[in-house]
Amino acid sequence: MSITRRQFVANTAATAALAGLAPRLRAAGSGDPDVIVIGAGLSGLETALTLEENGLKVRLLEGRKRVGGRLYTLFDLPGHPEAGGNSIASAYGRAIAAAKRNGIEVMNVAPRLMKNRAGQELFLGGEHIKLADWAAHPRNPFSGEARKLPPWAWSDAMFRQHLPFRDLENWHDAAHAQHDISVHDFLSANGATDAQIHLGYDTNISYGTTARDVSLLQQAFADHWQAVNRSAAPQNLLIGVFKDGNQNLPIAMARRLKGDLLQGRRVVAIETGPDSATVTCSDGSRHRAKAVVCSMPFSTLRNVALDPLPPSLQYKAIQTLGYIPITQFHVVAKKPFWEMDGLSPSMWTDGPLGSVLAQKSGKTDDEVTSLTVWCRGLNGLFIDRFGVEEGKRMILEEFARLRPASKGLLTVGAVHSWTADPFSAGDWAIFQPGQVRELRASIATPHQRLFFCGEHTAIGSRGIEGALESAERVSLEVLGAVG
Ligand SMILES: Cc1cc2nc3c(=O)[nH]c(=O)nc-3n(C[C@H](O)[C@H](O)[C@H](O)COP(=O)(O)OP(=O)(O)OC[C@H]3O[C@@H](n4cnc5c(N)ncnc54)[C@H](O)[C@@H]3O)c2cc1C
């Protein structure tokens, strides 16, 4: 079957308008489906729904016993904090449309966040440093005007000033291949010292484990996405969350599926040929279809036996694409210790607590419902080595050291290591130096009847929106191939 983009959009819109939201009980139906989709995260669910809306019979195989993948709401903690994807913004057109199609309200929390900007307290080497004292402080490694910037703002300023090209949306274009170097090399070449890079980029890192394993082109992609999302006038700024928990969107999407949704099915092997593909799960079940769409992150796909192996560059991408390590501790306070010591509950530290963000999802704008401790990069790997119970103890001990008023008032309600989680094995995907030039173009190329989606395959948008962008592309590929 071949299908034009216009027919595809028309079919999708019409069926979406008619689709009911009633939950269904689904077990393996009889007969082979047309398409198997692996993974019930956003990209897999959106692909499955789109293919169904275009007349195909779909079976979804999910390894976990829940849907949503990296959208994961802690529904049993106060305020329903997010362990996964946090928020969307104004350039998330697909996510906003998907919420509408699935009956989920998007709440704009920007006014609440803006009103409540208590800021983060800076702690370095266990010492509390007032931001007013930072420019002259002996721990400040920056020079000139940059000494006035808090450490978390330094690298953005360096990128704004020195990025060697301006058309950041073309970050993947061959014309920029010479910039596929490490962020560390780029910052050094622009005069930064190792101490500056360590504090200003590696500490509470956003991509990779250190500046040495992140491509400057990856950073350009992230900066581009941030810029388009921040281009709205302040009064139109959107920081959106899905009502009562972001995981409500994938849950609503799963309810609309007509075909099988089999959870607890860990995929261990995929065989593909010119006309069909077969998926084997760890329970021994085998599933055959005319096409298979794989939304698994490459960090987990690398543990799946693929037969035949994909072409060498795609295989190399599956084996080596980077993922940032992130572990979160969700902490609940019996009493607001920040009112006792007079500091903000949120912190930016160079110790095991990493960065701490106060969640304000209560009935009033300033009620703190929980604290999220983000351990990223090397700090995430460090804390994971101690295991969950010892990790909790270390986190509470560090709170008590930095904020003595918190002693005895905190409990850890939940811990989630995205690195140790076998269904993510890391958090978001990272192009390492040289990988954009060598591997990017091969990542999502169909391999016989095996197709690829997922945030790691998106090129125009990132995160939640990237996952949905990838579903759009792969749906067109599959509809074009499966007749
Ligand atoms: C802590 C955190 C914060 C984030 N913050 C934001 C944010 O603020 N804004 C934003 O836009 N994005 C954010 N993201 C990223 C965003 O959540 C993800 O990019 C997006 O949800 C990924 O969707 P996906 O479908 O590509 O992958 P996933 O959601 O990971 O889906 C893949 C699915 O495949 C399944 N799977 C894996 N291996 C197997 C196997 N062997 N067998 C069967 N199934 C398998 C998984 O269980 C999963 O359900 C964040 C993510 C995290 C974790």
Ligand 1 atom closest to residue 471's alpha carbon, by position in its atom list: 25
pLDDT of 13 higher than 50:
no
- Per-residue model confidence as pLDDT tens digits over 240-274: 999 999 999 999 999 999 999 999 999 999 999 99
Q: What residues form DSSP beta bridges with 215?
A: 182
- pLDDT band for 120, please (50, 70, 90 cuts): very high
Q: Once rounded to an integer, what is the mean pLDDT over residues 47-57?
A: 98
Q: For residue 395, is it within any domain?
A: no
Does the beta carbon of 225 sit less than 6 angstroms from any atom of ligand 1? no
Q: What is the mean pLDDT of the chain?
A: 93
For ligand 1, say whether the CB of 39 is within 6 Å of any of its atoms.
yes
Query: What's the pLDDT at 49?
Result: 98
Residue whose Cα lies nearest atom 33 of ligand 1: it is 39
45 alpha carbon – ligand 1 mean position (Å):
12
Say if ligand 1 is within 6 A of residue 426 CB.
no
CA angle 467, 469, 472 (to 5 degrees): 115
What's the pLDDT tens digit per position in 428-480? 999 999 999 999 999 999 999 999 999 999 999 999 999 999 999 999 999 99
> Which protein residue has the closest C-alpha to ligand 1 atom 21?
70
Q: Which of 124-138, 317-331, 358-372 has the lowest mean pLDDT?
A: 358-372
Using the predicted structure, report yes or no on whether residue 381 has a pLDDT greater than 50.
yes
Global confidence as pTM: 0.94
Range of the domain at 20: 5-69+244-311+445-481
- Here the CATH number for the domain that contains residue 44 is 3.50.50.60
Number of domain units in the chain: 1
What integer is the mean pLDDT of 317-340?
98
Could you tell which of 42, 70, 452 is best to mutate to test the pocket of ligand 1, judged by most ligand atoms within 8 Å of the CB?
70
- Cβ 246 under 6 angstroms from ligand 1: no
**pLDDT value, residue 106:** 97
Q: Please give the pLDDT value at position 236.
A: 81
State if residue 71 touches ligand 1 by the CB under 6 angstroms criterion: yes
Tell me, using a 6 A CB cutoff, whether residue 41 lines ligand 1.
Answer: yes
The CA distance from 358 to 366, in Å, is 10
263 CB near ligand 1 (under 6 Å): no
Residue 223: CB atoms within 10 Å: 16
- Alpha-carbon torsion, ordered 430, 431, 433, 438, to 10 deg: 160
Q: Does residue 102 lie in a domain region?
A: no
Q: 240 CB under 6 A from ligand 1?
A: no
Residue 119: inside a domain? no
State percent of the chain over pLDDT 70.
Answer: 93
Q: Atom 1, ligand 1: which residue's CA is nearest?
A: 84
Q: Is residue 291 in some structural domain?
A: yes
> In what side-by-side order are the strands of the sheet with 326-333?
127-129, 121-124, 347-349, 355-359, 370-376, 326-333, 410-417
Q: Mean pLDDT over residues 174-193, rounded? A: 98
457 in a domain, yes or no?
yes
Higher pLDDT, 367 or 113: 367
Taking the C-alpha atoms of residue 170 and residue 366, their distance in angstroms, rounded to an integer, is 40
pLDDT, tens digit (0-9, with 9 covering 90-100), for 70-112: 999 999 999 999 999 999 999 999 999 999 999 999 999 988 8
Q: Is residue 186 part of a domain?
A: no
- In this structure, which residue's CA is closest to atom 6 in ligand 1? 85
Lowest mean pLDDT among 28-32, 47-51, 202-206: 28-32
Q: Dihedral sign for Cα 64, 65, 71, 73, please.
A: negative
pLDDT-derived band at 116 (thresholds 50, 70, 90) equals low
The dihedral sign for the CA sequence 160, 325, 439, 169: negative
Report the residue among 265, 372, 464, 475 best suited for mutation to probe ligand 1: largest number of ligand atoms under 8 A from its CB: 464
C-beta of 253 in contact with ligand 1 (< 6 A): no
Contact criterion met (CB below 8 Å) for 40 and 227: no
Tell whether ligand 1 has an atom less than 6 A from the beta carbon of residue 330: no
User: Has residue 326 been placed in a domain?
Assistant: no
| 459 within a domain of the structure (yes/no) | yes
pLDDT over threshold 70, residue 167:
yes
Report the range of poorest mean pLDDT among 107-121, 154-168, 229-243: 107-121
Bin 331: left if φ > 0, else alpha if -120 < ψ < 50, else beta: beta
**How far is Cα 427 from Cα 421, in angstroms, rounded to an integer?**
10
